[in-house]
Amino acid sequence: MASLLIFLSAGLFLSGGRPVTARTETRTRPSQVLSPVLIMSAFPLLTGGFIATGVDPATVISILIGAVVITWRIQRLHNARATQQQAATLGNFLGLCISTLRAGAPMTEAMDHALAGTPPAGGITDTLQTAARRARSGGSGQAVLIDAPIADLQRLGTLWETSEKHGIPLVRLLEQMRTRIDARQRHRQATSAQLQGPQATAVILALLPLAGILMGTVMGADPLGFLTGGGLGGLLLVVGVSLVAGGFVMTQKILEGANPS
């Protein structure tokens, strides 16, 4: 039982680094990922269930540590992909807006035209639609964008407001914004490609202890029995899993710093 749980955790660890499919990227509202807080809140129930099946408490603690780190990693990937999708959607929206503004249309008409040709992407298109409706009804569409939780939408609202206050052609401001978004996307893609090697190395190093356990088992030893049997083995298991988890988290933080979303 303990062996099955440990290797199941390893499988989840690997699945966290898989690229999303095209179907996942086109979801309007990405599925929510379980948070580490939710996992820890289920600690008493999981502990009772594992102990009832004869699993050592140290093994339970180690599995929960691994589950929290895996969930954290999946959530970070989820957030990074959502940010990239939002940037791509806004870039497409700005391109359609710019072409309509060049034809002499007002901003509200340009937004309606752009939204008609922009696929839904989470809350970004909803906010843009709300801003367009507010502007058509005589309100401040800029305020809706400035109050949005997405930084790029705040910038768009600020540019729109600046254009109306100071008479600066909005199309020029939007062209500059779209250029910056495109350059940021290209930089992110290039950096991500360069970091694939270090990312793979980090995952391999984190899974090396499992390879050592497997080799010991093949050689006739019983490392799993020692680690999951309580006592000194259980203590070593908790310490080892904690060190591997801490090292993996630190490595991911360093890689994310090299390629911020």
Q: What is the pLDDT of residue 16?
A: 41
Compute the distance between CA of residue 41 and CA of residue 67 in angstroms, rounded to an integer.
Answer: 13
Q: What is the pLDDT of residue 226?
A: 85
Helices (H), the chain: 2-15, 22-25, 36-41, 43-52, 57-102, 107-116, 122-136, 141-146, 151-166, 170-194, 196-218, 223-227, 231-258
Average pLDDT over residues 56-70: 85
Place of tokens 């199941």: 8
**Cβ(67)–Cβ(9) below 8 Å:** yes
Amino acid residing at 11: G
Mean pLDDT of the chain: 80
Percent of the chain with pLDDT over 90: 24
pLDDT digits (tens, 9 = 90+) for 121-161: 767 888 999 999 999 888 889 999 999 988 899 999 999 99
Asked whether the predicted pLDDT for residue 18 surpasses 50, the reply is no
Q: What is the pLDDT of residue 48?
A: 65
pLDDT digits (tens, 9 = 90+) for 198-252: 888 888 888 888 888 888 888 888 888 888 888 888 899 899 999 999 999 998 8
Q: How much is the pTM?
A: 0.67
Could you tell me the pLDDT band of residue 257, with boundaries at 50, 70 and 90?
A: confident
Q: What is the pLDDT of residue 47?
A: 61
Average pLDDT over residues 59-73: 87
CB atoms within 10 A of CB 62: 26
Q: Comparing 96-100, 101-105, 226-230, which segment has the lowest mean pLDDT?
A: 226-230
Q: What is the pLDDT of residue 31?
A: 42
pLDDT digits (tens, 9 = 90+) for 182-198: 998 888 888 888 888 88
Q: What is the pLDDT of residue 210?
A: 87
Asked whether the predicted pLDDT for residue 17 surpasses 80, the reply is no
DSSP 159-192: HHHHHHHH---HHHHHHHHHHHHHHHHHHHHHHH
